[in-house]
């Protein structure tokens, strides 16, 4: 989808013959057909598939003149030049131009390509499909002070005659799809990796020291991947670029990754270090699988995401340890389970066409999962998460050794293929498909994993187990009952083996149960008699033998604890019932961090002194995994609150904290900070936050705790510390915020300073001081400001401080650090919900439309969806027709430059209004509904024509490969200048009826190819009439390009960018001047000036 209002295609030369081209402004739907999300999502899916490059469709179609057909038949080379310019691009390329004095380079202005999935067509015409490979030669002419970074090897840098500009020549000899092409231009500081000279890092001015530190670790990631894959990094060089206002934190392209500059950190920062390293490792994994090996079609995406996520997991295991890895897997599993249960499933391998669809009704009613570009962002992240988990399941099945062999095979085939020049049929080895991947697996391992694939890949949903047990003393048998819930949305039935681990007095035993259709109960023989008088050590799973105090357990039973599916070999949620002492034993003695965490979350339900003791013990145990200990803090707080009336001794964790972190001589003063031991650092950070959640009998935070936290802040001393304490201080503010309880309000008095609670006054004092100090001595990533803003919102929400969004709005302005902005916006979103402010909602939506930073726009929609001002089931004064109109318009035309944003708008619309007609709209006429039924499509005949017109045109024309079409959305704000008279088109009755006919066919791209040509014939003249004129307007640009263009892209090799009548061989060359700023009046993008 070109989708580019800002893209003008001037001329295309076809040998000798010139053909007119149109600039296309593809808009989805006109706003007329009213507000039915079902309808929208169908139309949107149809529109996207109509231009889906994977299916051979597109927006820019080039007619091969009949004179040339014989050349095609003779397998001759056709060279095609497309000259175009980008005029204030809204998507595809993002310009960051700080408004300070100085030249562009001094200001740190930069530009980079960005987008979600295949979005390269936003910035140059191409066949934007991951499956269309070719080699590349890229030329970028930029200001001499700038550096252009792109894919492949930098062959040379040539100055222009006037010495004011430079041309960077890049050459990428490994066949790569256009979607993996990227570009970043800016006054970058350059660092050649001291360990690997083929790796170069780029960052914005002044950040070089941070870059040095941040990337100093990267070579180890390289070594790890190369070792496990037994394969060299496929590209001859690798570049990392750190830029501001990033679209996503990590974007991997061929031989180059674009990162957010906010990942850079100095040696003093603890918390960011593992996160940044993870991002680096992630991007590198995607270099192998995702960039070098790319996908055949969207339905094969899961393989790539799965493999890259899987090897990234192996890296995590090696780098951060097994505990961290297992914790991560559990976290990811919990996330995907929660998401699927909430929304109804994530399908990894959406299959097109055919009957499959009917067996498995689309799990996502409000968007289509057949295209990457119609997916909700959240779904896509969950999709990636599930993909790597499934890959892990495959590993469990066939062993890691085979798994790595499969990867190695894929890579070596691909690298053999990539070295073959001009034999594009070989290059298909560089594409991975689901079937190809499965075939490799069966070849390598000889195992049949079809059932596994069928269960997790071809089907959506997770498994929900309920486990309960009884011990039969007579038979010495454990009767385990495992029920499944496979009727609620997002679940599926599981049939197959299930591992159960039983810890008995005599040791730990694994049992594999066969879960079958009807069997619920399983008898598991126990190995040990219930005997406890003998003092004997109890062997654990890992061979360790420990002494336990067995007095708590049931005298008749030898069972200590039972775990269902301990290895997470099924994507499942397990609710198992055990007695509280069993959970406590599990927490204390099971060595698996996942089991410990399960025990902690289960113990929340058992507020007893014994649970308290178990949790405290874990907290104190230094050998215990720090994340478990952190979780124990929060659990302990909950338990303490539940047993508040019987609680004895000081507030939970206080004495523990004092013992661990305070001075021996004066226990109320915390030691000066020393964060050398990271586990205790994390614990020290977390404990006060959890303590602040404690409540006394009046449901207030105990005074003692508040004083304690205030003292921690007061005595915090970081002078002797090697590390920054900014995260620690931020968490202290979080702790203060946690301690806030709702204000006792007497008949809704106005909140003033005089009736401020004295405790709150103290809290506010601290917040004020911290927030003000941040202005003078800002902390890393402004963590403290972020926490302060959150805390202020908490105070507002609890009625201590007058609720007022103006402070947050000032922090949300463009120009603040992005974390601050997001925190402030989150507060405004919350305000909008609590105070039902239409004005703020409008303010937010305006920001969604106008903010310069794509990530912020996306995030606002995301936060509004997560914390909606109202939902479909709710009456709200905010829900009115104007809002519906506004959102609808946003979905339709306001977001055509950013898939992610559009899908975000769709998500929000769904949350607010649901699938069907929003309740605040007037009822439609009855006749329309009847028509709907007759047509068997969810379409309303009176509203279809305009709606689908655009899509269908797009759908029809690519297949005809003879016609150039332009689409125009008359409602889109920026599209006024080139008006294509859609009205006249619509007036044509033939046109409408034609499109109604089209709609009845499945609009799958595959089928659209075979539409009879004659059904189009009526359309063509109309289109041509409507579209004439536009492209011819500015021929002079053409002449200017050579000296104006800042970037020239040239592409050659097999499989040119054009879909031309299935040419057996097409040697295409596409030369284009890609000028980020062709027009001198534009404020943005004038990098060359």
Partner 1 sequence: MADAAATAGAAGSGTRSGSKQSTNPADNYHLARRRTLQVVVSSLLTEAGFESAEKASVETLTEMLQSYISEIGRSAKSYCEHTARTQPTLSDIVVTLVEMGFNVDTLPAYAKRSQRMVITAPPVTNQPVAPKALTAGQNRPHPPHIPSHFPEFPDPHTYIKTPTYREPVSDYQVLREKAASQRRDVERALTRFMAKTGETQSLFKDDVSTFPLIAARPFTIPYLTALLPSELEMQQMEETDSSEQDEQTDTENLPLHISPVPLLSREGSLPCTEVWMPPSWAS
Residues 784-803 that bind partner 1 (CB under 8 A): 792, 795, 801-802
Smaller CB separation from partner 1, 555 or 753: 753
Which of 67, 69, 98, 749 contacts partner 1 by CB under 8 A?
98
Farthest CA pair distance, the chain: 99
Residue 324 to residue 332: CA distance in whole angstroms:
12
Q: Is 757 in the site for partner 1 (CB under 8 A)?
A: no
CA distances from 696 to 429, 604, 794 (A): 66, 18, 20
> What SS3 state is found at 133?
strand
Q: Which of 70, 74, 99, 873 binds partner 1 (CB under 8 A)?
A: 99
Q: Measured from the CB of residue 1069, what is the shortest distance to partner 1 in angstroms?
A: 40
Among residues 159, 422, 486, 814, the one that binds partner 1 under rule CB under 8 A: 814
Q: How far apart are CA 366 and CA 910, in angstroms?
A: 7
> Which of 251, 295, 304, 298 is CA-nearest to residue 52?
298
Indicate which single residue of 3, 141, 384, 724 sits in contact with partner 1 (rule: CB under 8 A).
724
Which CB atom, from 844 or from 1074, has the smaller least distance to partner 1? 844
The conformation of residue 257, written as its DSSP 8-state character, comes to E
Q: Say which DSSP state 828 is in.
A: H
CB 440 within 8 A of CB 406: yes
Nearer to partner 1, 143 or 766 (CB): 766
Q: Which of 752, 850, 989, 1036 binds partner 1 (CB under 8 A)?
A: 752
Q: Does the protein bind partner 1 through residue 261 (CB under 8 A)?
A: yes
340 binds partner 1 (CB under 8 A): no
Query: Is there binding between residue 567 and partner 1 (CB under 8 A)?
Result: yes
Candidates 970, 1066, 1089, 952; CA nearest to 1018 is 952
CA–CA distance, 1051 with 504 (Å, rounded to integer): 67
H helices of 260-399, in order, are 272-288, 301-320, 322-343, 356-359, 377-398
Choose, by CB under 8 A, the member of 262, 343, 384, 963 that binds partner 1: 262
For residues 12 and 326, which CB has a smaller minimum distance to partner 1 in the complex? 326
Nearer to partner 1, 663 or 990 (CB): 663
| Residue indicated by tokens 């669809």 | 357
Q: How far is CA 639 from CA 644, 704, 776, in A?
A: 8, 18, 41
The Cα–Cα gap between 1050 and 523 comes to 69
Segment lying near partner 1 (by CB under 8 A), choices 27-35, 439-447, 587-595, 1033-1041: 587-595
Strand partners, 154: 170
225 binds partner 1 (CB under 8 A): no
Q: Distance from CA of residue 517 to its chain's centroid?
A: 36
Q: Which of 421, 439, 698, 769 binds partner 1 (CB under 8 A)?
A: 769
Residues of this chain, 363-402, that bind partner 1 according to CB under 8 A: 395, 400
Q: Within 919-948, which residues bind partner 1 (CB under 8 A)?
A: none
Footprint of partner 1 on 9-38 (CB under 8 A): none
Question: Of residues 164, 537, 722, 1089, which one binds partner 1 by CB under 8 A?
Answer: 722
Binding mask 296-335 for partner 1 (x = CB under 8 A): ------------------x--xxxxxxxxxx---------
Quick one: which of 392, 365, 386 has its CA closest to 376? 365
Cβ proximity to partner 1, 268 vs 937, nearer residue: 268
Which C-beta is closer to partner 1: that of 210 or that of 346?
210
Least distance (Å) from partner 1 to the CB of residue 765?
7
Q: Tell me the C-alpha distance between 696 and 333, whole Å.
A: 35
Burial of 220 (0-12, 13-18, 19+ CB in 10 A): middle
Choose, by CB under 8 A, the member of 719, 936, 1064, 1080 that binds partner 1: 719
Count CB neighbours of 275 within 10 A. Answer: 13
Site string for partner 1, 506-545 (x = CB under 8 A): -----------------------------------xxxx-
213 vs 409, beta carbon nearer partner 1 = 213
Task: Return d(Cα 500, Cα 955) in angstroms, integer.
Answer: 53
Applying CB under 8 A, does 264 fall inside the site for partner 1? yes
- x/- site string to partner 1, residues 121 to 160, per CB under 8 A? ----------------------------------------
> Does 217 help bind partner 1 (rule: CB under 8 A)?
yes
Q: Least Å distance between CB 1012 and partner 1?
A: 57
Q: Which C-beta is closer to partner 1: that of 464 or that of 800? A: 800
Any contact of residue 753 with partner 1 (CB under 8 A)? yes
Does residue number 729 form part of the binding site for partner 1 (CB under 8 A)?
no
Rule CB under 8 A: is residue 835 a binding residue for partner 1? no
Q: Are 302 and 349 in contact (CB under 8 A)?
A: yes
740 is a site residue for partner 1 (CB under 8 A): no
Name which position in 157, 173, 266, 1024 contacts partner 1 (CB under 8 A).
Answer: 266
- Region of 151 please: left (phi>0), alpha (psi -120 to 50) or beta: beta
Distance CA 217, CA 220 (A): 6
| Binding flag, residue 180, partner 1 (CB under 8 A) | no
Q: Which of these, 220, 221, 216, lies nearest to 252 by C-alpha position?
A: 221
By three-state DSSP, how is residue 445 classified? Answer: helix
Nearer to partner 1, 817 or 843 (CB): 817
* Contact pick of 268, 413, 762, 937 for partner 1 (by CB under 8 A): 268
H/E run at residue 39 = helix 37-50
Looking only at the bridges linking them, the beta strands covering 294-295 and 431-432 are parallel
- Cβ neighbours of 353 (radius 10 Å): 12
The residue count for binding partner 1 (CB under 8 A) is 103
| 207 sits near partner 1 (criterion: CB under 8 A) | yes
Q: What are the Cα distances from residue 209, in Å, to 212, 264, 280, 423?
A: 5, 9, 17, 45
Minimum gap (Å) between residue 323 Cβ and partner 1 = 5
For residues 334 and 471, the answer to whether their CB atoms sit within 8 Å is: no
> Shortest gap between Cβ of 674 and partner 1 (angstroms)?
6
Does 1086 help bind partner 1 (rule: CB under 8 A)?
Answer: no
Query: Scanning residues 1028 to 1067, which ones bind partner 1 (CB under 8 A)?
Result: none
Site for partner 1 in 407-466 (CB under 8 A): none
- Per-residue contact track with partner 1, 596 to 625, x per CB under 8 A? --------------------------xxxx
Q: From start to end of 109-198, where are the E strands?
A: 110-113, 133-143, 147-150, 153-159, 165-177, 183-186, 189-192
- Gap between the Cα atoms of 825 and 108, Å rounded: 26
| Binding residue (CB under 8 A) for partner 1 from 496, 507, 650, 778 | 778
Complex with partner 1: residue 265 or 1023, whichever CB lies closer? 265
Angle at 1005 between CA 118 and CA 934, to 5 degrees: 125
Angle ∠(186,190,191) on CA atoms, nearest 5: 150
Exactly one of 122, 247, 811, 967 binds partner 1 (CB under 8 A); that residue is 811
Closest distance to partner 1 from the beta carbon of 635 (Å):
20
| Binding residues for partner 1 restricted to 661-690, rule: CB under 8 A | 663, 665-666, 669, 674, 676-679
> Which range binds partner 1 by CB under 8 A, 374-382, 531-539, 768-776, 1067-1075?
768-776
Judged by CB under 8 A, the residue of 213, 1034, 1050, 1084 near partner 1 is 213
d(CA 814, CA 805): 16
Query: Is 813 near partner 1 (CB under 8 A)?
Result: yes
In whole angstroms, how far apart are CA 1027 and each of 20, 436, 801? 10, 44, 59
């Amino acid at each position: 989808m070109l989708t580019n209002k800002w893209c003008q295609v001037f001329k295309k030369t076809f040998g000798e013959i010139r053909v007119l081209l149109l600039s296309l402004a593809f808009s989805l739907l006109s706003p007329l057909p009213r507000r039915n999300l079902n309808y929208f999502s169908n139309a949107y899916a149809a529109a996207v598939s109509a231009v889906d490059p994977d299916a051979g469709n597109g927006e820019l179609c080039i007619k091969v003149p009949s004179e040339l057909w014989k050349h095609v038949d003779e397998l001759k080379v056709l060279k095609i030049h497309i000259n175009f310019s980008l005029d204030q691009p809204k998507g595809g390329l993002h310009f960051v131009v700080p408004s300070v004095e100085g030249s562009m380079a001094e200001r740190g202005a930069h530009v980079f390509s960005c987008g979600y999935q295949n979005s390269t067509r936003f910035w140059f015409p191409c066949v934007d499909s991951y499956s269309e490979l070719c080699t590349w030669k890229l030329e970028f002419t930029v200001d001499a002070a700038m550096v252009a970074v792109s894919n492949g090897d930098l062959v040379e840098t040539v100055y222009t005659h006037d010495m004011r500009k430079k041309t960077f020549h890049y050459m990428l000899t490994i066949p790569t799809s256009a979607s993996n092409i990227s570009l970043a231009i800016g006054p970058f500081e350059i660092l050649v990796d001291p360990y690997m000279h083929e790796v170069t890092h780029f960052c914005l001015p002044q950040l070089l020291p941070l870059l040095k530190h941040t990337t100093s670790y990267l070579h180890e990631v390289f070594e790890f991947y190369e070792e496990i894959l037994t394969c060299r990094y496929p590209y001859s060089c690798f570049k990392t670029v750190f830029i501001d206002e990033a679209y996503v934190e990590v974007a991997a392209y061929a031989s180059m990754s674009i990162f957010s500059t906010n990942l850079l950190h100095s040696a003093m920062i603890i918390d960011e270090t593992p996160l940044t390293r993870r991002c680096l490792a992630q991007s590198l994994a995607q270099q192998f699988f995702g960039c070098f090996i790319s996908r055949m079609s969207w339905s094969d995406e899961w393989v790539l995401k799965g493999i890259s996520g899987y090897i990234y997991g192996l890296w995590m295991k090696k780098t951060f340890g097994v505990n961290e890895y297992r914790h991560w897997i559990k976290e990811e599993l919990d996330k995907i389970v929660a998401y699927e249960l909430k929304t109804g499933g994530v399908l990894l391998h959406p299959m097109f066409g055919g009957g499959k669809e009917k067996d498995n009704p689309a799990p996502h009613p409000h968007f289509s999962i057949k295209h990457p570009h119609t997916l909700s962002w959240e779904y896509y992240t969950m999709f990636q998460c599930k993909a790597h988990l499934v890959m892990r399941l495959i590993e469990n099945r066939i062993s890691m050794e085979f798994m790595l062999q499969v990867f190695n095979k894929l890579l070596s085939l691909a690298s053999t293929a990539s070295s073959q020049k001009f034999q594009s049929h070989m290059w298909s080895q560089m594409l991975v498909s689901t079937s190809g991947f499965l075939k490799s697996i069966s070849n390598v391992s000889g195992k049949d994993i079809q059932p596994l694939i069928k269960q997790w890949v071809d089907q959506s949903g997770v498994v929900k187990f309920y486990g309960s047990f009884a011990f039969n003393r007579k038979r010495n048998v454990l009767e385990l009952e495992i029920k499944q819930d496979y009727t609620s949305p997002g679940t599926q039935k599981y049939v197959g083996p299930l591992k159960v681990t039983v810890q008995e007095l005599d040791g730990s035993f694994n049992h594999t149960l066969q879960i079958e259709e009807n069997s619920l109960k399983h008898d598991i023989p126990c190995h040990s008699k219930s005997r406890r008088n003998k003092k004997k050590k109890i062997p654990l799973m890992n061979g360790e033998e420990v002494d336990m105090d067995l007095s708590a357990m049931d005298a008749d039973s030898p069972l200590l604890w039972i775990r269902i599916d301990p290895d997470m070999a099924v994507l499942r949620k397990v609710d198992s019932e055990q007695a509280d002492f069993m959970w406590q034993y599990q927490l204390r003695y099971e060595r698996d961090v996942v089991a410990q965490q399960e025990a902690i979350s289960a113990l929340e339900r058992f507020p007893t002194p014994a649970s308290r003791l178990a949790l405290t013990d874990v907290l104190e145990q230094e050998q215990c995994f720090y994340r478990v200990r952190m979780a124990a803090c929060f659990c302990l707080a909950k338990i303490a609150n539940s047993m508040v009336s019987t609680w004895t001794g000081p507030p939970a964790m206080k004495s523990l904290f004092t013992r661990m972190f305070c001075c021996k001589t004066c226990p109320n003063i915390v030691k000066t900070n020393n964060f050398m031991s990271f586990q205790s650092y994390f614990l020290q950070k977390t404990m006060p936050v959890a303590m602040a959640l404690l409540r006394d009998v009046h449901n207030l935070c105990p005074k003692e705790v508040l004083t304690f936290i205030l003292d921690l802040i007061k005595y915090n001393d970081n002078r002797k510390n090697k590390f920054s304490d900014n995260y620690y201080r931020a968490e202290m503010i979080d702790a203060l915020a946690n301690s806030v309880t709702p204000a006792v309000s007497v008949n809704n008095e106005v909140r003033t300073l005089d009736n401020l609670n004295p405790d709150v006054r103290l809290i506010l004092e601290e917040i004020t001081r911290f927030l003000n100090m941040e202005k003078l001595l800002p902390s890393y990533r402004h963590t403290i400001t972020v926490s302060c803003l959150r805390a202020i919102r908490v105070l507002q929400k609890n009625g201590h401080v007058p609720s007022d969004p103006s402070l947050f709005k000032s922090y949300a302005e463009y120009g603040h650090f992005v974390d601050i902005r997001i925190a402030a916006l989150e507060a405004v979103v919350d305000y909008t919900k609590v105070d039902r402010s239409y004005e703020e909602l409008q303010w937010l939506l305006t920001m969604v439309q106008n903010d310069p930073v794509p990530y912020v726009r996306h995030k606002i929609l995301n936060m509004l969806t997560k914390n909606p001002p109202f939902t479909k089931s709710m009456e709200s004064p905010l829900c009115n027709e104007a809002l519906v109109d506004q959102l609808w318009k946003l979905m339709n035309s306001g977001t055509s430059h950013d898939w992610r944003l559009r899908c975000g708008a769709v998500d929000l619309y769904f949350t607010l209004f649901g699938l069907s007609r929003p309740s605040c709209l007037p009822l439609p006429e009855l006749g329309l509904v009847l028509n709907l039924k007759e047509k068997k499509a969810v379409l309303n005949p009176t509203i279809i024509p305009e709606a689908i017109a655009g899509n269908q045109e797009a759908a029809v024309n690519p297949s005809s490969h003879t016609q150039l079409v332009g689409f125009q959305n008359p409602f889109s704000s920026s599209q006024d200048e080139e008006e294509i008279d859609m009205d006249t088109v619509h007036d044509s009755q033939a046109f409408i009826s034609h499109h109604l006919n089209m709609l009845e066919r499945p609009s799958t791209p595959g089928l659209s190819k075979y539409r009879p040509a004659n059904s189009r014939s009526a359309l063509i003249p109309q289109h041509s009439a409507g579209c004439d004129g536009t492209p011819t307007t500015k021929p002079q640009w053409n002449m200017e390009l050579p000296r104006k263009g800042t970037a020239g892209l040239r592409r050659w090799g097999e499989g040119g960018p054009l879909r031309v009548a299935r040419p057996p061989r097409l040697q295409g060359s596409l030369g284009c001047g890609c000028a980020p700023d062709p027009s001198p009046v534009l404020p943005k993008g004038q990098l060359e000036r």
